[in-house]
A = this chain, B = another copy of it.
């Protein structure tokens, strides 16, 4: 199984194409074969039209059929894991074990969302039966639920080539909700994208689903993505990536003649508040936990802990010193793309120049962080942390900005009041973590309440990386963590609801209703019937 470089449009193996580009191996600093054809305008048009044609068939596909399809994709991913991982290693510089785990995670996610589709809780099916004799007016029969919104455009992320890319969370949840999907492949791993896309197409044919269920378009630039978001037949957009990219797409979608929703998971600094009691109880474990969380995947996780908020004390200073020693002893790691690497370097150089900001453990890095950075091989980065005071942080908005890569900012507070002031000024994040000692934990109500207004997931005595894919998880948060202000999650079974809209049937004969709302409840759904949740027929 080797990529051949053409977009996958419906059952056609390749589009017309335009300019070409190649994948890049960041570890070896070389381009990879083959060349990939950027999709042409006609390719975009054909992919979206095919998806729109498939949409009504998909909207009517019962949950169990969707589950079968998602199961078929997950099996194929697992069966071809070795080949997929081999290509992904070249394209991302990520290690084999991590990528193997990620394929398994993507497969598990497809199965979980398939179960959610079959179970149908997300439909929120509700029935109020008629009361023809009600006074003063008869009450009509009303039956309502979420239904698939239509063709969904997905932009995969660069940092999760499996779990949040072609067959990742957005695609899996959109299929589970009954929507055809058009993926704009991330140009950082086009070969991996094509291989995964072909597996999805095999599953489409195997399950007898319509052409247009899935397409995959390549583009080295932004034109194809913009055309997809602006296409009149596109109904919603999923995106995982940078704040700049996500906001640009959200702005495009909001300016359409008919605006459509964009679910963009974007920038997040994931603040970690460490209280004195936690340090007193388990300083060594804190250094170890925080270090591990911050270093995973060379700091290129959306849940990377980017702000560490501490109250100044000898113990806290020792903790940061111990961290500095760990950081200084850390070998460099390969970043995902030369572009990400360049942006990281620019960002740390800019931060190093800011007033009131100093490198953490500069004394351990004889020539300073920039110098060490300059001496590293192309596309690699070593951790560079900074420290600043609460007042400096509060007075300089640039310090609130995410640096994508292995850099975190320690914020020193002189007391608890300053800690609360920092919490109050935080922008939206995917997560916020709080470490407290046994005796002080109970007093943290106000801080917890403040953080609850700022993040989608609050973590107590834990670390932000390592995301459970479950019915209860929330991966979202106030802007700029997401473009929708944290009303939805891009991970977990609740993510299906992003791809639905509400529909209500009034006074319909049973045989004209979708099966989900029929009296016999043929799919065995949980439904709110006259105020009571029930799984049985009515």
Contact = CB atoms under 8 A, between A and B. Distances in A.
Interface in A103-162: 121, 124, 126-128, 137, 139-140, 142-144, 147, 149-150
B501 A461 contact: no
Contacts of A488: 502
Given A254-B251, A511-B442, A485 B501 contact: yes
Interface stretch (A26-34, A206-214, A443-451): A443-451
B506 A458 contact: yes
A142 to B, nearest CB: 4
Contacts of A479: 258-259
A420 interface: no
Interface in A438-473: 441-442, 444-445, 448-450, 452-453, 455-462, 466, 468, 470-473
Given A258-B479, A485-B260, A487-B500, A508 B471 contact: no
Interface string A472-512: 11101011100111111100001000001111111111011
A235 B531 CA distance: 31
A88 interface: no
A358 interface: no
A355 to B, nearest CB: 24
A300 B471 CA distance: 44
A421 interface: no
Interface residues of A, number: 81
Contact of A128 (B143, B255, B471, B506): B471
A501 B251 CA distance: 21
Contacts of A94: none
Given A142-B468, A442-B511, A502 B456 contact: yes
A529 B49 CA distance: 42
A140 to B, nearest CB: 6
A318 B127 CA distance: 37
A130 to B, nearest CB: 10
Given A142-B468, A456-B504, A503-B452, A261 B474 contact: no
B142 A472 contact: yes
B441 A473 contact: no
A147 B149 CA distance: 25
Number of this chain's copies in the complex: 2
A89 to B, nearest CB: 21
A490 B472 CA distance: 26
A485 B235 contact: yes
A507 B461 contact: yes
Contacts of A250: 254, 259
Given A254-B254, A453-B56, A512-B460, A501 B486 contact: yes
Contacts of A140: 462, 468
Interface string A324-337: 00000000000000
Nearest to A129: B472
Contact of A487 (B453, B471, B489, B502): B502
Contacts of A261: 484-485, 487
B489 A127 contact: no
A512 B259 contact: no
A473 B250 CA distance: 30
B500 A462 contact: no
A333 B489 CA distance: 49
Interface in A387-431: 428
A526 interface: yes
Most buried by B among A466, A487, A494, A505: A487
A80 interface: no
Given A501-B487, A507-B460, A137 B254 contact: no
Given A59-B453, A140-B462, A471-B531, 17 more contacts: A55-B453, A56-B449, A60-B449, A128-B472, A251-B255, A254-B255, A258-B479, A261-B487, A456-B503, A458-B505, A459-B506, A459-B507, A460-B508, A460-B509, A473-B504, A474-B502, A476-B502
16 contacts: A55-B453, A121-B528, A124-B494, A142-B468, A142-B472, A258-B480, A259-B479, A259-B485, A442-B509, A458-B505, A460-B507, A461-B507, A462-B506, A462-B507, A486-B501, A486-B503
